[in-house]
Amino acid sequence: MTLSALMIRRAEPSDAGFLTEMLCAAVNWDDGRAALTRAQVLADPTLARYVSGWPRSGDLGVVGERGGPVGAAWLRLFTADEPGYGYVADDVPEVSVAVLPGWRGQGIGAELLSELFAIATDTRVSLSVERANRARELYRRLGFQTVAAGAQSDTMVKILR
């Protein structure tokens, strides 16, 4: 790990592979569970829809780099017919964010989300987070509020403007 400053740039079509890696990191946040492979994540339509065809119209993302990519945050719209886990409405994009395991706990996720929200044109965003995931506290600090509770996870919304 290098102590260089985090450089944040917009995600490009060439970042599709890295966003898939970040989706896998987000899915596999719990070290106590068996990790899903990249192939398993992409074979599951409810997971693959977060990155399939990146970028689609309306997609927006940022990549954080410290000598190479270390994390990403992105927004994608879903529909009621094919919702994401944190689906709220067709006009509310869902946030995905992940940081490589060796870089977690350094504020990178917060920096990525802050930059993403600064460039987003949406008025609100949503996400789903398992209650045991420590990122849940980050989302609360950033102003997300729980709008629906499931058995193990919450759907949260943040008003941007």
Whether 43 is covered by a domain: the verdict is yes
Whether 149 is covered by a domain: the verdict is yes
Whether 2 is covered by a domain: the verdict is no
Range of the domain at 15: 7-159
- The CATH number of whichever domain residue 48 belongs to comes to 3.40.630.30
Number of domains into which the chain is organized: 1
Residue 97 host element (H or E): strand 94-99
Distance separating alpha carbons of residues 45 and 43, to the nearest angstrom: 6
Q: Tell me, what's the pLDDT at 33? A: 87
Whether 146 is covered by a domain: the verdict is yes
Q: Tell me, what's the pLDDT at 51? A: 98
Whether 1 is covered by a domain: the verdict is no
pLDDT in tens, 111-140: 999 999 999 999 999 999 999 999 999 999
pLDDT in tens, 72-104: 999 999 999 999 999 999 999 999 999 998 999
CA atoms within 13 A on the CB side of 54: 25
Whether 129 is covered by a domain: the verdict is yes
Distance separating alpha carbons of residues 24 and 40, to the nearest angstrom: 9
pLDDT in tens, 32-77: 889 999 999 999 999 999 999 999 999 999 999 999 999 999 999 9
Binned at pLDDT 50, 70 and 90, residue 3 comes out as low
Q: Tell me, what's the pLDDT at 32? A: 82
Q: Are 119 and 149 in contact (CB under 8 A)?
A: no
Whether 20 is covered by a domain: the verdict is yes
SS3 for 45? helix
pTM score, whole prediction: 0.94
